[in-house]
């Protein structure tokens, strides 16, 4: 199953990765999975910022994924509290709290349910600073939401809506790939002076553990990370799909002798064009993969920018391996997802073009 593939990819990656986190791993660390790293980040924020409040559906008892477990007991019901089942109201309240000076951290129970709050995010939060000429802002607002395929979510629990918000100036959109990145990027979103949407890959919540610093730390937003250097093909993804492409990169090396450079975009808006274009100028080939439908997906924006900036460097047309233009299916999910075999076939086509 896709869930088992992701778990195996993540565990394998833990033993073989070459990412340098020495600048982060200062002080005590603890084994955490991804949802525990979220809890740790929120705990650090509530402890250091007396204005910080966390709210959403069921967060008082820990939330459906247990990301806020224990925080109400530790910090009180005035700082960690439930809301009505109204996403528009959750974000609207968060905007007001942030404008009033609080650090507002709102949880949308699933990213699929963020659409009722779309107007509040796009027409209010994103434009608040601009429309007031910088007299007022709601930059202290962070919106968290579980995101992406989970193996059995079907129509309303598997969507990846990042591209909808990438069209909207005034907000930042961030998606981590693992516990270390999750905590550091979430704390960066909370500290950032712009409203941020933080999508958490739900299939990774319990997939594996990493040694994560218990103290607060940040990872810069809008900076992609080159996870693996290569010379023949550039692979770009974010969130769960990073682990799929990591396995594809190893398959390409073993079966084809092809060297792949793997990039985790991390921040969707504003995204790191420099790192991606620099890589493509070196490799001459680009594959982008995400779970969201292909038409209008964020891979199209990356493809367009790279074509404009790196046209003379390209050795093959840019490839996109994404979800299909259908609602997310249930029994046909294995055929829908951009798995390692689809991505590996795309790499072969890029090399043989």
Indicate which residues carry an active-site annotation: 87, 157
Q: For residue 327, what is the DSSP state?
A: P
Best CA proximity match to 268, nearest among 164, 125, 156: 164
Cis preceding linkage at 166, omega within 30: no
| CA separation for the pair 5, 169 (Å, rounded) | 36
Q: What's the Cα-to-Cα distance from 137 to each of 126, 194, 275, rounded to whole Å?
A: 9, 8, 30
25's tokens: 């791993």
Question: What residue has token string 């924006």?
Answer: 301
**How far lies 341's CA from each of 12, 145, 249, 294, in Å?**
17, 29, 11, 17
State how far the alpha carbon of 327 is from the alpha carbons of 98, 152, 153, 158, in Å.
Answer: 35, 14, 12, 10
Which are the contacts of 274, defined by CB distance < 8 A and separation ≥ 6?
none
Q: Is 82 exposed, middle or buried (0-12, 13-18, 19+ CB in 10 A)?
A: middle
The tokens describing 234, both together, are: 């550039």
Cα–Cα dist 284/311, whole Å = 9
**Residue 305 tokens, joined:** 């920018």
Q: How many CA atoms lie within 13 A of 312 on its CB side?
A: 0
């Amino acid at each position: 199953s896709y869930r088992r593939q992701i778990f195996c990819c993540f565990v394998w990656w833990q033993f073989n990765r070459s990412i340098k986190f020495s600048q982060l791993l200062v002080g005590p660390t603890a084994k955490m999975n991804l949802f525990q790293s979220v809890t740790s980040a929120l705990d650090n924020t509530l402890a250091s910022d007396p204005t910080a409040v966390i709210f959403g559906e069921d967060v008082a008892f820990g939330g459906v994924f247990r990301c806020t477990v224990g925080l109400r007991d530790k910090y009180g019901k005035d700082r960690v509290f439930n809301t009505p089942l109204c996403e528009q109201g959750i974000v609207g309240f968060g905007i007001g709290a942030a404008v009033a000076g609080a650090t507002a951290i709102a949880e949308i129970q699933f990213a699929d349910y963020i659409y009722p709050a779309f107007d509040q995010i796009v027409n209010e939060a994103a434009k608040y600073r601009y429309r007031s000429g910088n007299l007022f802002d709601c930059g202290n607002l962070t919106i968290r939401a579980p995101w992406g395929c989970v193996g059995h979510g079907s129509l309303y629990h598997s969507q990846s809506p990042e591209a909808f918000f990438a069209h909207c100036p005034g907000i930042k959109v961030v998606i981590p790939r693992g516990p270390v990145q999750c905590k550091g990027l979430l704390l960066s979103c909370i500290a950032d002076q712009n409203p941020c949407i933080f999508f958490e890959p739900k299939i990774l919540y319990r997939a594996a553990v990493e040694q994560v610093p218990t103290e607060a730390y940040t990872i810069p937003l809008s900076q992609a990370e080159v996870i693996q250097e290569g010379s023949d093909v550039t692979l770009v993804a974010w969130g769960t799909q990073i682990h799929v492409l990591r396995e594809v990169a190893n398959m390409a090396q073993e079966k084809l002798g092809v060297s792949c450079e793997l990039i985790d975009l991390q921040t969707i808006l504003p995204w790191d064009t420099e790192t991606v274009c620099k890589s493509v100028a070196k490799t001459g080939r680009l594959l982008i993969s995400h779970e969201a439908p292909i038409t209008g997906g964020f891979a199209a924006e990356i493809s367009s920018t790279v074509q404009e900036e790196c046209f003379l460097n390209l050795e093959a047309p840019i490839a996109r391996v994404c979800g299909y233009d259908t609602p997310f299916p249930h029994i046909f999910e294995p055929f829908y997802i951009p798995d390692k075999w689809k991505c590996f076939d795309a790499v072969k086509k890029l090399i043989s073009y």
